[in-house]
Amino acid sequence: MAMPHESALINWRMNGMIARFVGMVAIALGFVIGIYGLEDTEAWWLQTALGLLATGMLAQGYALYCSVKRRQERKDQPKS
């Protein structure tokens, strides 16, 4: 069990890979559901598709952030 004063190591690579996968799936589903929602404008499909597209874009942005943080940490490590 980790003590509260210990700093947690963040695995930026794994977080970035998961965020990238979730982002791609959300964007793809958003486009597919959006096409269906354009055919039936009275249903809630279009709002769902827009929410999925926004979620996918946010996940991709977080994946980019993880990539930048990983490169910064790798650059800041002393060479041994």
Stated as kind and residue range, the H or E segment containing 14 is helix 12-39
Average pLDDT over residues 29-37: 93
Average pLDDT over residues 33-51: 89
C-alpha 61/C-alpha 31 separation (Å) is: 18
pLDDT tens figures, 49-58: 999 999 999 9
- In percent, the amount of the chain with pLDDT more than 70 equals 88
Question: What does the block give as tokens for 68?
Answer: 């930048």
Residue ranges per domain, the chain? 14-70
Query: 3-state class of 44 per DSSP?
Result: coil
CA Rg, the chain, in Å? Answer: 18
